[in-house]
Structure 1
């Protein structure tokens, strides 16, 4: 018997909206078509019923949030495989799950940790530019778990940036990071989520060397135009 208070027997990582298989197998090729096995999610009292199979019938007592999203593999039951498929995962599906065979002697219990991640692609903007420098901004919206967000140059060197502005909303994080660059080249905003082994980036190009002042003038004109619009509206 596996101890429920111990670490999970397996860990599964998936991105939100994707489907995932939660593994559970006796590993003995024992036919379980006539057995009772129950999948539950930990963290609530009573535990939420994710899926229940009992001698050919299933879904009895299933919690509403899992109805229509969870299924098993009928052809695999004769091989002792009680794994389930969960469709369109959400961040709310994060957590620990148990797969148990309560009528077996001894009782068999397996524990699986499901990690659902959200990894939106960063958006990058050249906020302001002169002939000598440019202020770049990166926004990562709705990521989970919380990513590390950095600016890199074309040689993968981490640039000095302002302190990240982090706004948590539920399980999601909204992060803004700004940096000032002074050399022509490509720059990348990189979001890294080590917990789910994920990294994604967005690139932007900054060009310097125009001594005519066009860059400064263009920024000034945009600012003035918006200022005029604001006055007219008021």
Structure 2
């Protein structure tokens, strides 16, 4: 889950407040003798939208301002008055309409010469220069009010591309903020210039995106800040290793899958060609032996061979089903890909062993045929040349059997 961090803590706010009042206190101690002066902060006052703010203005030396006329105004407005106090009464008819019901003086501090203005529920339109003026003394002071707004950024992962792209967006800022990307060690990440848009409400929306790669921590932070209002917001995200399935990994998985499929096809083709050639050879051998007057395989032998072949086919089908199931899992993750490689090697060894066994059966049958041929040759030495021709045919069959055996051996 993203972790939100408020850039200006309570401790920081307290420090700013203490600093502000320290400046005012120093100014109060540096007054000249004689006529009272209006003093206030030298730096702009910062107020956040929706909060209340006090614009300091103080007579020095202190003098009772209860019966004085106190004017607060903004020179850029018409009418310019924000708050007017005359003979202890507030004159609303002179105020600019947007300040109605939102301004007041600190009545319990007027007797001490404090004519500060309290402005409630600050709006963006309140930003500007304010003039504190006492006509009877012909004294005035200008205060700059900066209105700020900040919000925490929102991080999302873009899954529409092969790379891992992080999007960051933060709405509702004023003034215009800055945006940075940081890695888990706090180093800046290279990213394009952020896009900043100002909405109809006068607030800014800033957004940016960055392409990231797998790192030691896999932690990334989007930080948005505005130094003028001393505000910082950031959001952190931690990515799992599985998110980083880049193109190279996908290609490796595809290559592995392709090789496994090719190997499967080769094994199936060799297997069926082998059985087709074996059945054909057995048929030819039976015909030749019958022509020589020899008795072919008994019914019991044929049944046994049939059961053996059926068992081998069933075993192969089981292996093929198992391999197909494992191929479907190859694209899940890298660990599955590694396991598939190991299983593929094991399957290849099993097929070799199966082929070795079937070749052994073929070789035994060839030996059996060779024995029968020898026996036939002995019996036919005194026979006619017709018999000799049949013996040659059996020899040819044996030769073909040996050729098949050699061919299978070359395949593996």
- TM exceeds 0.5? yes
Structure 1 segment 126-205 matched on structure 2, within 5 A: 126-128=157-159, 133-170=163-200, 171-184=202-215, 185-205=218-238
Q: Which secondary structure state, in structure 2, belongs to the residue aligned with residue 26 of structure 1? A: strand
Give CA deviations for 1:148-182 in whole Å, capped at 9, x if unaligned. Answer: 11111122111111232222225322121000111
Structure 2 distance, partners of 1:112, 1:166, is 29
Q: Indicate yes or no: 2:86 matched with 1:54.
A: yes
Q: Bigger shift: 163-172 or 188-197?
A: 163-172
The question of whether the paired residues in 1 share the 8 Å contact of 2:79 and 2:96 is answered with no
Cα offset for 1:47? 4.9
How does the TM-score come out when normalised to structure 1? 0.80
Which 4+ runs in 1 deviate beyond 6 A?
none
What corresponds to 2:356 in structure 1? none
Distance 1:172 1:55 in 2: 40
Larger deviation: 166-175 or 200-209?
166-175
Pairs aligned (count): 205
Choose from 108, 128, 152 the match for 1:121.
Answer: 152
Measure the CA separation in 2 of the matches of 1:213 and 1:17.
53
1:91 and 2:124 aligned: yes
More helix per residue: 1 or 2? 2
Greater CA radius of gyration, 1 or 2?
2
Deviation (angstroms), 1:125: 0.5
Residue number among 22, 28, 47 corresponding to 1:14 in the alignment: 47
* Residue pair 2:79, 2:95 contacting (<8 A) in 1 also: no
Residues 33-86 of structure 1 show CA distances to partners (whole Å, capped at 9, x for unaligned) of 110110001323x35211111111013311211111111111100100000111
Answer yes or no: is the 8 Å Cα contact 1:29–1:79 preserved in 2.
Answer: yes
1:75-86 correspondence to structure 2 within 5 Å: 75-86=108-119
* From 34, 40, 49, the counterpart of 2:73: 40
Structure 2 match to 1:229? none
Alignment partner of 1:112 out of 124, 128, 143? 143
Structure 1: unaligned runs, 5 residues or longer: 2-7, 216-234
Query: Structure 1: how far apart are the matches of 2:332 and 2:84?
Result: 68
Which structure 2 segments of 5+ residues have no match?
Answer: 1-34, 36-40, 246-329, 334-412
CA–CA distance in structure 2, aligned partners of residues 24 and 95 of structure 1: 16
Q: What SS is found at the alignment partner of 2:45?
A: strand
Q: Aligned-residue CA RMSD in angstroms?
A: 2.2
How far apart, in 2, do the equivalents of 1:71 and 1:200 lie? 32
Q: Which residue of 2 aligns with 1:228?
A: none
Displacement of 1:128 in angstroms is 2.0
1:28 deviates by: 1.4
Q: Kindly indicate whether the alpha-carbon contact (under 8 Å) linking 1:139 and 1:177 is maintained by their aligned counterparts in 2.
A: yes
- Identify which of structures 1 and 2 has the higher relative contact order when contacts are C-alpha pairs closer than 8 Å and 6+ apart: 1
User: How much has 1:129 moved relative to structure 2?
Assistant: 7.7
SS of aligned partner of 2:159: strand
Distance (whole Å) between structure 2 residues aligned to residue 21 and residue 59 of structure 1: 20
| Contact 1:183/1:207, CA 8 A, preserved across alignment | no
In structure 2, the CA distance between the partners of 1:196 and 1:135, relative to structure 1 (3 Å rule), is: same
TM-score, normalised with respect to structure 2: 0.47
